[in-house]
């Protein structure tokens, strides 16, 4: 079941400030669990985000003309790194996260990628549940920390497209 009135589309670099705001709002409640450096890396500035457009696509979830979520992808060989997935707190639990992951998976299939992977912190319980429901499994692959904040990697092996 798709959430009502949620549009997933490619972002443009001019939306970097809005995306930075979503990232900050999504993670600020967990700020005390991050080291200052890890929180800064998790919530990059507008300028830093604008540089990411050369590394891979960024998508946004839009509801009523408001960006409520985001995710990026960075191709790495036959894999796709899922980066900076975030939803505004008010948008959680409404299906936008699943739609963003479905978009990432479609993109990976179009590229012929064999797997998706991401890094997350053990305290982002809701996000971890979403990733697990979407088929990701915890891996022993690194990295294991981000500037002193614990991390673990999750991987989803993709079936070849028919």
Class of domain 6-157: alpha beta
The C-alpha atoms of residue 104 and residue 81 are separated, in whole angstroms, by 9
Whose tokens are 């009502």? That residue is 4
Closest CA to 13 of 46, 35, 38: 46
- State if pTM tops 0.85: yes
pLDDT tens figures, 30-62: 999 999 999 999 999 999 999 888 999 999 999
Domain segments of the chain as ranges = 6-157
103-130 pLDDT, tens digit per residue, is: 999 999 999 999 999 999 999 999 999 9
Q: HSE of 83 in the Cβ direction (CA atoms, 13 Å)?
A: 20
């Amino acid at each position: 079941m798709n959430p009502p009135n949620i549009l997933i589309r490619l972002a443009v670099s001019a939306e970097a400030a809005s995306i930075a705001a979503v990232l900050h709002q999504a993670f600020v409640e967990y700020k005390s669990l991050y080291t200052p450096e890890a929180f800064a890396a998790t919530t990059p500035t507008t300028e830093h985000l604008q540089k990411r457009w050369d590394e891979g696509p960024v998508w946004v979830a839009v509801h009523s003309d408001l960006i409520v979520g985001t995710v990026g992808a960075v191709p790495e060989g036959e894999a796709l790194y899922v980066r900076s997935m975030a939803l505004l707190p008010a948008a959680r639990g409404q299906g936008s996260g699943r739609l963003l992951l479905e978009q990432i998976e479609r993109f990976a299939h179009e590229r012929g990628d064999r797997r998706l992977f991401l890094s997350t912190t053990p305290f982002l319980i809701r996000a971890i549940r979403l990733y697990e429901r979407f088929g990701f499994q915890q891996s022993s692959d690194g990295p294991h920390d981000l500037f002193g904040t614990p991390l673990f990697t999750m991987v989803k092996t993709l079936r070849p497209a028919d």
